[in-house]
Every structure is written in C-alpha cells, then in structure tokens.
A and B are shown apart, each in its own frame.
Chain A
Amino acid sequence: SQTIHQWPATLVQPVGSPLSLECTVEGTSNPNLYWYRQAAGRGLQLLFYSVGIGQISSEVPQNLSASRPQDRQFILSSKKLLLSDSGFYLCAWEGVTKNIQYFGAGTRLSVL
C-alpha cells in the first residue's frame, strides 16, 4: 500500500532563517506531488506541484521554492523565512486517478 511521510511535524524558526521540509512517498511510482499551505479560515492553498523529477510548477509567487530530486521525494525550501510563512504545510500525492489526492500528516511551521 502507498504511504506518504512528511517531516518534521512541528518547526519553530526565526525570521530570516532557511527552511527545508521533506516529503516522501512509498508504494507507488511516478506520482504527481503537491505542496499546500493551510491557514486558519482560508482553506487549502496550492503552492507547487510536480509531475516528474525536476519538473516544478508554481501556483503562487512567494518566498518559497520546491524541488523534486527523486521520483518520490518532494522538498519545500526557503532561503529566508518571513513571518507570513507561518502555517500548516501539507504534502500530497496523486496516482493514476487524476484529482484523487492523498495527504501527509503536515508540518506546522511557526516563524518568530
């Protein structure tokens, strides 16, 4: 069966520090991968998606970037965090059936 792992679960970072969040998927190959941010009262915001190694599409211009160095690995990064980057970050994968996405446990990021 397929599983998705996200870490860390919680992160507290100072303003201006770098960020690296990692997501890996097991039990499937060539998944579509997604990064979302969830803010209270604002729903899920798609940040990036990837249909293959090295292929990244950005939905929202911002302080973040994404990379996909391996088929089942998706990384969310920032060189310098802003206060506004605080939020709940979710990774998701999508298999053969389009639009059916499965989420990881999420990372709660607090930028102070």
Chain B
Amino acid sequence: QKEVEQDPGPLSVPEGAIVSLNCTYSNSAFQYFMWYRQYSRKGPELLMYTYSSGNKEDGRFTAQVDKSSKYISLFIRDSQPSDSATYLCAQGAGSYQLTFGKGTKLSVIP
C-alpha cells in the first residue's frame, strides 16, 4: 500500500466552481499536513499547513484533515483561472522526511 494516494487528474472545472482536492494516507504517525501549489515549470509554493486534525481557512482556500479516516482535503471556493496548477499534498511525522502525493493537475476554464 502506498503511503500517500492522490488522484492525478487532470481535473477541469469552470470558473467560479468549488474545487475539492483530496489525498489519503496510511501512516498514522503523520502530524503535519501541507498543501503546495505548483505552476508549470516552477517550484512548489506552500499554500497551507495544518497540525493534527481539523480545518484551516485562508481566503478562498480551506484545508481539512480527518485523521480517523486518514483523509485530507483542500477546497477552493470561487475558483479562478489563476488557480490552474498542480496541487501537491504532503505529510510529515516530525522527522526530516516528508511524504508527497504525486499531485493533481487542475485547470479552471474561464
């Protein structure tokens, strides 16, 4: 079983839609949960991070962590064409190793 599963997409939505991006993981030791946005040919940009369970909101973005089901989500409200990118989830257990999903490619169509 892979440590992190992330649907690679591609996911295509119309502008203004609500986007849901998800990852599942298997390692119960994970305590840190991150979402990165990566534009084509650029480095990943940290969008949000959460420690342990719960929700975190930042503008149009909401991150959710459900440790009981080992499921993390990123919601994007009122999606914009500028949100078109690949979104990577990442998890850490406090050591130096992060575990990354392979990324979901999102396209927001004007």
Main SS class of interface, B: loop
In whole angstroms, what is the CA distance A41 to B6 when docked? 12
A46 neighbours in B (Cβ, 8 Å): 97-98
Q: How many residues of B contact A (CB 8 A)?
A: 25
Distance between B57 CB and nearest chain A CB, rounded to angstroms? 18
Question: With A99-B94, A100-B34, A100-B49 given, is the CB distance from A43 to B100 under 8 Å?
Answer: yes
Q: How many residue-residue contacts, CB under 8 A, span A and B?
A: 57
On whether A49 and B102 interact (CB within 8 A), knowing A100-B34, A106-B43, the answer reads no
Contact residues, B76-110 vs A (CB, 8 A): 88, 90, 92-98, 100-103
Q: Kindly state the interface size class of chain A when it binds its partner.
A: 20 to 34
Q: When the two chains form their complex, are residues A104 and B102 in contact, meaning their CB atoms are under 8 A apart?
A: no
- B71 contacts partner chain A, Cβ-Cβ < 8 Å: no
* Chain B stretch 14-48: residues in CB contact (< 8 A) with chain A: 31-32, 34, 36, 41-46
Binding site for B on A (CB under 8 A): 6, 32, 34, 41-44, 46, 49, 51, 57, 59, 88, 90, 98-106, 108
